[in-house]
Structure 1
Amino acid sequence: MEAQQLPQNYEKKIDSLIGTEFGNQNDPGGVFLVAKNGKPIYRKAFGKANLELAVNMTPENVFQIGSMTKQFTAVAILLLEQQGKLNVHDPVSKYIKDYPGGDKITIHHLLTHTSGIKDFTRMKSLSSIAQKEMKPEEMVSFFKNEPVDFTPGEKFDYNNSGYVVLGYIIELISGDTYENFIQKNIFDQAGMSDSYYASDRKVIHKRAYGYHKKEKGFVNKTVISFSVPFSSGSLMSTVDDMLKWQQALNQNKIVNPDESQKAFQKYKLNNNEEFTYGYGWHLKEINGVPDREHGGSVFGFKSMGVYIPKEDIYVIGFSNCDCHSPTEITRNIAKITQTSLKK
């Protein structure tokens, strides 16, 4: 599908849709990309990447992607399974010997948010460690002795702690840091040269700065130590790199089809009830067509990605203020793109 086959008003439609939320050029903004068959058909930036320096956003800006990090963690686990180093049905206790109830919680439970482990983001004591440099082991120790919310496999309840445990398991098995493992096995393989494990100290070329909105206007984002969200939310990327990621998955560059299929299928709870999450992706529908989607939210940033396999449509949206959400806009862009390309 070449760009010229798009209806003439397609770009205008998308512009005005995004403009409802991201229309003020003097506010923090965002970047949106739409691809069909791996080729961008829409790619635009809105607002400012840095308010203090009055720098305009460009499509090349680097954003924190928050919980979209979970896709990378899940695929890293599947890669270790492909290498014969683990099985998704292994109990957590096989790798973390002293994990409370770890003989009943499997890697599969962690991947699908069905473990029942206490989500550290809901713990009141989180503020006591938010700015501390935490080792993965220390992060796991922070929540592992909390009472569980339910028996493993009993229900689906979105959970950041489970993905922190997965990151720690990746380190224990690979003998490498999570950051290095993702860099070598995913970013480098997919050609994602503008993706990083987040840092506020490193000089990151084309970084978009993150903001909160207060009554009196915008303020710089609250500082957290990225070792806290760790493998549940600490990666940074660009829309172009995220398209490369989607392409790498489609072309089985990282894991083989048998493994990647595990990420994109729905699973059942103990009572046989199906839920709409695979490994690192929500599995929903757009206009009745199955999709894979996930958002992210971390201080100062929001992200959302939607992929429709049947039509090979990928839409990704980033925002550098947690006051602007790209979630519904990204889904609506996917809907418009579907109908526009059918005509």
Structure 2
Amino acid sequence: ILTLQDQGKLSVDDALCDWIQPCPPAWAPVRLHHLLTHQSGIPDLMAQANWGMTRTTYRTKDQLVEAAARYGLQFQPGTKIRYDNVGFNLLASVVERASGMPFETYIQQTLFDPLGMADTGSDADGQAQGLAMGYANYPSGLAPQPLANVSIVYGAGALYSTLDDLLIWTSALHHGQLMKAESYADMIASHNPPDTPNERGRPPRAWGYGLYTNRLGERVAPAFSDREIYHTGSWAGFRNIITYQPEADVTVIVLSNNYHMREQVFLISQQAMAEALGHPFPTGMKAAD
């Protein structure tokens, strides 16, 4: 979205209904900015009754937009934050209309290929080969999770990659290769409305465009207080985090093919960050206040 804004093809202040047709009247006040910051009020489809079954069923982009359009707004756009994958599916449809290219083609030809990310691409159609198997912990033991249907998050995930490629991506993202300086500043700025929820008893993170900023080291012991720009991710059988410390120019990437490794993945990321920054090595998680 920000790359297309830099090209003059759209603006984050555009109304969603300028790009999505037919557009429900309830969505009239929604701007692309609201989608980028999870403030649109459009409910996440996966939180709706009976939607869980769709995790196993392929859906086209148009079907997902039509499904989202059945619901009104949960709150006035810009007044609250509620994490919402459907907003990024809608943004992917905006990218298609603004660029004139399928979303998967646009990100491949405009972003991944020029950066030399040869092992990164979309798996929205479930046809990618050589992917790792995900696992989950059950009372009976560790169980493989068949590769999940990711078509329902085609704009919010549905990608495969490697540590090496993700390091290329993070470097390009934070060193001016993907967007103008002013767009980058908007991306990492805090767009929090007054009603931003706390983080498990701690002050809220800063919600930017598709990522967050927070002092993640304050959650481990011994703690440290350097700011980090980051995003976590999970799906059936997988858990990960990519975090970046701008002052020291340090990137930490942790990928796990076990869904139930949330705390471990986070702790490993902060152990690596602390070591890179010269802080005492964290040995565990700090209890929430």
- Is 1:303 the counterpart of 2:240? The answer is yes
- TM-score after normalising by structure 2: 0.84
Correspondence list, 1:221-260, <5 A: 221-260=145-184
Distance 1:324 1:271 in 2: 30
Residue aligning to 1:175: 100
- Residues 94-151 of structure 1 deviation map (CA, whole Å, 9 limit, x = unaligned): 0113322232000000000111110112122223432333221211211222232211
What SS class does the counterpart of residue 112 from structure 2 fall into? helix
- Tell me the equivalent position of 1:335: 274
The 3-state SS of whatever aligns with 1:232 is coil
1:293 and 2:217 correspond: no
- Which of 19, 31, 55 is the aligned partner of 1:95? 19
Spell out the pairing of 1:130-169 with structure 2 (5 A cutoff): 130-169=55-94
Q: String of CA shifts for 1:278-325, please: whole Å, max 9, x gaps.
A: 011111124322220110000011110110001111100000110222
Residue by residue, what CA displacement relative to the aligned partner does 1:258-282 show, whole Å, maximum 9, x if unpaired?
2222111112427899961101111
1:125 pairs with 2:50: yes
* Residues 131, 223 of structure 1: 8 Å contact kept: no
Verify the 8 A CA contact 2:41 2:76 in the aligned structure 1: yes
Q: What letter matches 1:209 in structure 2?
A: M
RMSD, matched Cα: 2.2
Choose from 170, 184, 206 the match for 1:276: 206
Change beyond 3 A, Cα 1:276–1:83: same
More strand by share: 1
TM-score, reference length from structure 1: 0.72
Closer/same/farther in 2, CA of residues 308 and 275 from structure 1, 3 Å limit:
closer
Matched residue, 1:210 = 134
SS class of match (1:188) = helix
- Distance in 1 between the 2:225 and 2:148 partners? 39
- Opposite residue 246 of structure 2, the aligned amino acid is P
Structure 1: distance between partners of 2:129 and 2:88: 27
Say if 2:187 is the partner of 1:263: yes
The answer to whether the Cα contact below 8 Å between 2:145 and 2:237 also exists between their aligned partners in 1 is yes
Residue equivalent to 1:32: none
Number of equivalences:
263
Cα distance in 1 for partners of 2:248, 2:190 equals 20
Q: Which runs of 5+ in 1 are unaligned?
A: 1-76
